[in-house]
Structure 1
Amino acid sequence: MRGRRRALARAAAVLLVAAGAGLLGAGLVAVRVARDVVTPPRRRRYDVPIVAVDLEASTVRLGRTPDTEVAGRYSLWFDHDRGHARVAEVLEQDDRTVLRRLEGVQRGDLERASHGRWAGWWYLTPADLGLPFVEVGIATPVGVAPAWRIDAERPSDAWAIVVHGRGVTRSEGLRAVGVLRAAGFRCLLISYRNDGDAPPSHDGRYALGDEEWRDVEAAIAAARQQGARRIVLMGWSMGGATVLQCITRSPLAEHVDGVVLESPVVDWLSVLRFQADAARLPAAVRDAALAVLGSGVASQWVGLAEPIDFARLDVLARAATLRIPMLLLHSDHDGYVPIDGSAALAVARPDVVRLERFATARHTKLWNFDAERWERAMRVWLADQGLSGATAAATSARTARPRRPRAADAAPSG
């Protein structure tokens, strides 16, 4: 580990020397790229042209992009997120535009908007589900983080803790509540440091799961204190990376019975290299940015209190330590976090990991693309693991089955 850190520090030093030799521009770009990786977004990209809106016909014509041309139902944010609409099936498309069904405008004046941004959210708050919910606080190491608790249909000691991804909030996980609740789970949708709802960390930067897992651990502790005896963790994208860190580093992982990950980050280095290549960054700039993030000195340039330990975040390299049954939901056409890590993890540990492999669907939008298949995959997997049902069924399953090894048995805390 020390050798890797020294290598990253040397790479950062090379960056400084190169800057002094006249490559200052490339050096500054690398620092900016590194900063973007770990800085919570304050501005959103509104990169979807809104060409025409017909409220009477309930249609909206949008610029054609790799996201807007895909079948399914999605959110369209506009007017600096003051406006929100729900957009459904594709009605027609040409080379430049896509005409889609407009399910409704929840807020804002869509007719006056010229650009929007595409998202996988469908429900904005638990109220959209028509279910009773409670706003609760989770005592985390950085302060009290808000969470939504949605109870199961019947009293249950089975809990599902849902962890959202980078740059979004707990609303992302509302899509999973229906299938989890029907399977007998009380759902806890948490916030975590630097997501805009929970308190920030002292540096105000993402740690890509390297610190956020402690907030998931706090949620496990809170659930246990409230009677949880059966716990499933679900994580989306960076939330998936955070869940993976939790189950391989927390002593409370012994209380986790299953993990569901949607479009997860399994190995950050490969994902960040993919994203840099997709953005057509020169390899030298890409590698310098990664060196900055991993350097004890240079990482301070982007506001990190501690460098990113990419080796520690590589769960694929520690696949042998995994003990908790896991369902991965990922798409070949993710476009942001390639499926390679999930596929490799499934190959490395077929005894523990099941991969539900989609095509066409985009990043964290598998439910949007095919909700029926997505929910069926979760429902079947939960049943196969003996995790479905209310208190009596869960207690019976626990009594009938011998205790299996846990992640905490194989991996130390810290």
Structure 2
Amino acid sequence: MSAGTAGHVARSTVRPNSETIRRTPMRTFLRTDDGVTIDSVYEPGSAVYDASRSPSGDPVFVVAHGFTGDVDKPHVRRVAEALAPYGAVVTFSFRGHGASGGRSTVGDREVLDLAAAVAWAREQGHARVVTVGFSMGGSVVLRHAALYGSGRSEGSPGDSGGSERERREQRAQARTDAVVSVSAPARWYYRGTAPMRKLHWLVTRPEGRLVGRYGLRTRIQNGGWDPVPLSPVEAVPHIAPTPLLIVHGDRDGYFPVDHPRMLADAAAGHAELWLEPGMGHAEHAATDDLLARIGRWGGSQDS
């Protein structure tokens, strides 16, 4: 996995003279393996660190937002702020969202966007990466962990030539050490709730895509998946031994509770499942207390 030259441009050559520092936030555009530019932000977290100490022992949370979100949306910023006491945070806009390039494939090629963000997080010196995804992003973190982890061997969507050793090194740089999937679907093409029927109209109809582009700042790819990507429930068995947390609200208006239960069952005892009483869907419904618990869970997972 290559994040292009953007990560090198963002690095500072200034050496602090003080005994303690706050690592500097950075914003840049990453380049995915299929050539899409991804608007990305690295924030060092809220703690003050010893200037002589490497960040390698500190976790970094890579946040994968839901459909129609982006790095500047208030609900994405709130998630980043809530996780900051527990480690550094990388946020980014998926393809087709905000200032990122390309068009949204609604969870398919977005795995490459997440892989670029994870690789960039490791470039900042962090040995432990925790991916945290919401709704569409929740499905992406599951598929990413399966495709770039140790449980699946046929390669990642970004493999594009080179030796087998080079491909292994790319996947290692882009892999995650722990996964949190919030409000994710278990299966594709679900239309069992009114919000999901509206979302399918938005994605599949020309007038819906116009609403997405001009009303929601989301540019959506025309045409269906070919081939259909690995579904979240098919991906989950390949995530082990990477720690996995599945979080879902019992009042989720998009995906009822059979979705997280299917995901947990597919994990065959490997995953933790938190069914949150009274919680609705994704970032907007995640309370500060829940985000803090996610931060503590992610920070406690050993690499």
Q: TM-score range by the shorter chain?
A: 0.5 to 0.7
Are 1:208 and 1:241, in contact at CA under 8 Å, matched by a contact in 2? no
Q: Are positions 1:263 and 2:183 aligned together?
A: yes
Q: Are positions 1:194 and 2:87 aligned together?
A: no
Pairwise CA distance, 1:305: 7.4
Pairwise CA distance, 1:238: 0.4
Q: Are positions 1:238 and 2:238 aligned together?
A: no
Pairwise CA distance, 1:213: 0.6
Pick 1 or 2: higher relative contact order, CA cutoff 8 A, min separation 6: 2
Pairwise CA distance, 1:325: 0.9
Q: Are positions 1:150 and 2:36 aligned together?
A: no
Q: Give the SS at the match of 1:273.
A: coil
TM-score normalised according to structure 1 size: 0.49
Work out the CA distance in 2 between the residues paired with 1:142 and 1:217.
13
Work out the CA distance in 2 between the residues paired with 1:154 and 1:255.
27
Q: Give the SS at the match of 2:106.
A: coil
Partner of 2:157: none
Instruction: Trace 1:167-178 onto structure 2 (pairs within 5 A).
Output: 167-170=68-71, 171=73, 172-178=75-81
Partner of 2:265: 347
Pairwise CA distance, 1:212: 0.9
Q: Give the SS at the match of 2:132.
A: strand
Are 1:142 and 1:199, in contact at CA under 8 Å, matched by a contact in 2? no
1:142 counterpart letter in structure 2:
G
Instruction: Trace 1:156-305 onto structure 2 (pairs within 5 A).
Output: 156-157=55-56, 158-170=59-71, 171=73, 172-183=75-86, 185-200=87-102, 204=103, 206-250=104-148, 251-252=171-172, 255-269=175-189, 272-275=190-193, 279=197, 303-304=222-223
Partner of 1:293: none
1:194 counterpart letter in structure 2:
G
Work out the CA distance in 2 between the residues paired with 1:304 and 1:331.
31
Partner of 1:66: none
Partner of 1:313: 230
Partner of 2:168: none
Work out the CA distance in 1 between the residues paired with 2:224 and 2:105.
10
Pairwise CA distance, 1:257: 0.9
Pairwise CA distance, 1:243: 1.5
Are 1:328 and 1:353, in contact at CA under 8 Å, matched by a contact in 2? yes
Work out the CA distance in 2 between the residues paired with 1:384 and 1:198.
32
1:262 counterpart letter in structure 2:
V
Q: Are positions 1:136 and 2:59 aligned together?
A: no
Pairwise CA distance, 1:132: 7.1
Match of 1:381 among 268, 285, 297: 297
Pairwise CA distance, 1:216: 0.9
1:49-102 CA deviation, whole Å, 9 max, x = no partner? xxxxxxxxxxxxxxxxxxxxxxxxxxxxxxxxxxxxxxxxxxxxxxxxxxxxxx
Higher strand proportion (structure 1 or 2) = 1
Q: CA RMSD in A?
A: 3.0
2:99 counterpart letter in structure 1:
D
Pairwise CA distance, 1:339: 2.8
Work out the CA distance in 1 between the residues paired with 2:195 and 2:64.
28
Larger Rg: 1
1:191 counterpart letter in structure 2:
S
Work out the CA distance in 1 between the residues paired with 2:173 and 2:262.
23
1:267 counterpart letter in structure 2:
R
Are 1:356 and 1:377, in contact at CA under 8 Å, matched by a contact in 2? no
Are 2:248 and 2:275, in contact at CA under 8 Å, matched by a contact in 1? yes
Work out the CA distance in 2 between the residues paired with 1:227 and 1:384.
18
Pairwise CA distance, 1:167: 1.2
Unaligned ranges ≥5, structure 2: 1-22, 50-54, 149-170, 205-220
Identify if the C-alpha distance between structure 1 residues 256 and 278 changes in structure 2 by more than 3 Å, giving closer, same or farther.
closer
2:64 counterpart letter in structure 1:
V
Identify if the C-alpha distance between structure 1 residues 254 and 142 changes in structure 2 by more than 3 Å, giving closer, same or farther.
closer
Partner of 1:330: 248
Work out the CA distance in 1 between the residues paired with 2:63 and 2:195.
31
Partner of 1:15: none
Work out the CA distance in 1 between the residues paired with 2:234 and 2:246.
17
Are 2:142 and 2:236, in contact at CA under 8 Å, matched by a contact in 1? no
